[in-house]
Amino acid sequence: MKLTKLLGITGLILMAIGQSTPASAERCTFGGGCFWCLEAVFEDLKGVSSVTSGYAGGHVENPTYEQVCGGQTGHAEVVQIEFDPKVISYATLMKIFYTIHDPTTPNQQGADRGPQYRSIVLYDNNEQKKAAEEAKHTYQKDYKNPIVTEIVPLRKFYAAETYHQGYYKANGSKNPYCSMVISPKVQKMHHLFGDLLKK
């Protein structure tokens, strides 16, 4: 298997600039609309060593982007985040997650519609499960409508095709979707959480 498939673009970039995942690293997996959006938001945060776009929460093994977009695999578009809890906590990542997407719209984020765009948290352990449930309750006050975010155990994560990795940074100036949908989310996160950004 090619190295790019194993690591994804983000991992290769980290290797190239001499960064590595710390020994204390943890991971978390979120879905909240198009994975290009979530990747662009979370990769700018201090303590985050990698963000990989992929698929999870479904029943089809090794799904393709086309299959997931068809809405029949059960998978959601998600990002898997490797982070150092000594630098940024899971609770902080959850706060950002609930700030940069609308968790009250079932199977939809903006114009993106379908079960693959649902709001979902896939936990690794009971500690994450408890924190996710507490966050869902805490941030309900920020929304008029009920939060519909699924909280389920992570069974399997499938990294998306290589061309999806690092999509915003590679295509931000060329793709209208990036400027119209992703850029506002990134700008919102930078405005609200500027003290958490990488230098």
Q: 66 near 31, Cβ under 8 Å? A: no
What is the number of other CB atoms lying within 10 angstroms of the CB of residue 168? 20
- Whether residue 91 contacts residue 50, with contact meaning beta carbons closer than 8 Å, is answered with no
Give how far the C-alpha of residue 115 lies from the chain's centroid of Cα atoms, to the nearest Å. Answer: 16
- Show the CA angle centred on residue 35, arms to residues 30 and 38, nearest 5°: 65
Catalytic residue, chosen from 28, 34, 37, 178, is 34
Q: Which residues of 87-115 are buried (b: 16+ CB within 10 A; e: fewer)?
A: ebebebbbbbbbbbbbbbbeebbeebeeb
* Residue 66 CB neighbours (<10 A): 8
- Please state whether beta strands 26-32 and 112-113 pair in parallel, antiparallel, or not at all (unpaired): unpaired
Instruction: Categorise residue 146: left if φ over 0, alpha if ψ from -120 to 50, beta otherwise.
Output: beta
Per the annotation, the verdict on 37 as an active-site residue is no
- Contact call for residues 155 and 125 (beta carbons, < 8 A): no
Q: Give the residue numbers annotated as catalytic, written as ranges.
A: 34
